[in-house]
Amino acid sequence: MMQTLTPHVYWAQRHGEIYLRVELSDARNLLILVEENTLTFSAQGHGAKGENEYGFSLEFLKPVKTEVSHRSTQRQVNITVRKQEHGWWERLTMQERKPVFLAPDFDRWLDESDAELELREKEEKLNRISVESRIPKDPYLGLKKGYLFMYNLVQFLGFSWIFVNMTVRLFILGQDSFYDTFHTIADMMYFCQILAVLEVVNPALGIVQTGVVPPLIQVFGRNFVLFIILGVLEDMHNKPVVFFIFYAWSCIEIFRYPFYMLACIDIKWTLLTWLRYTIWMPLYPLGVIAEAVAVIQSMPVFDETGVLSVPLPKALGLSLSFSYVLHLYLVLMFLGLFINFRHLYKQRRRRFRTKKRKAY
């Protein structure tokens, strides 16, 4: 006759259920009963001490329902016990000292606040499904997704060309590549940034459900630097700062556009998601700093050449230099950095909400 041994048991809870995971392979002759608030388990199978009979009993801290559901796999037995009343238990058993065979199931463990958050998310999901079921489906949804997929694909290819071209030239020419970046890359950057205006148009027309202000700040800021600061002044074309601006922009976009492109066809790639919501944190401020350097370097050129200056009455014999506008733009640039950084950081927190783990 085989001796009855105790298996390893792991537990977790929600407001309405208790989850038990019994480490017992190929369980046979299962007996799981709940009587007088005590769960009794017995079975034959392969546990921590080989093939044997295993069993245990647990007296719960508070009343539970007698109906028990379980599911056996080749590796374990999963048991779900429902609480009589919804609530959070400070421990599992009536006895204060934890049984030696019992441990938290960290794969399913949530503390009370996280469980409440999960419950609210489930309720919101059910409510959203209920509402969506009453809203007519968009007949143009497939067309919109196809358009967004192609837009993001084209932008990804454009910025990938920029990134690869600049990287290869950097390895071949070294620092010499800094001085002719504008002449080799500007045409493709013009194309990508003109196309980026659609990122303001799309939310404005309701094609994507995002705000208009964050993309407006980014697109306007980049295009102002590209077309006004760099495009108008030939003296800026050979500045090394152009390399750093274009490289920072392309490094961000080669992860952002494929993320949105795959989202159009409901594909999620964990590494790409992490990169899309993380890589911008150092690169976005560095890109803005490089843009600010370009603006500052352009100020004396605008003063000397009088390009874009506003002429004043002849009696004054003066003109209002465009550099005054650039002083104001610098302030707005860093204000925009703060607004967009805050917006993107909130997006990242929602995407990667961490769940705290708590011991027994």
Helix (H, G, I), strand (E, B) or coil at 313: coil
The secondary element (H helix, E strand) that includes residue 20 is strand 17-22
Helix (H, G, I), strand (E, B) or coil at 180: helix
CA–CA distance, 319 with 327 (Å, rounded to integer): 16
Pure H helices in the chain: 112-134, 141-173, 181-195, 198-204, 213-223, 231-232, 241-263, 270-276, 280-305, 323-351
Which of 223, 359, 328, 349 lies closest to 278 in space, CA to CA?
A: 349
Query: Which residue of the set 260, 284, 304, 324 is catalytic?
Result: 284
The secondary element (H helix, E strand) that includes residue 11 is strand 9-13
Kindly compute the dihedral angle of the four CA atoms of residues 171, 172, 175, 177, in this order, to the nearest 10 degrees. Answer: -110
Does 291 qualify as catalytic in the annotation?
Answer: yes
Residue for token digits 């002719």? 180
Query: Which residue of the set 10, 257, 260, 291 is catalytic?
Result: 291
CB distance 252 to 287 below 8 Å: yes
Catalytic residue numbers, as ranges: 284, 291
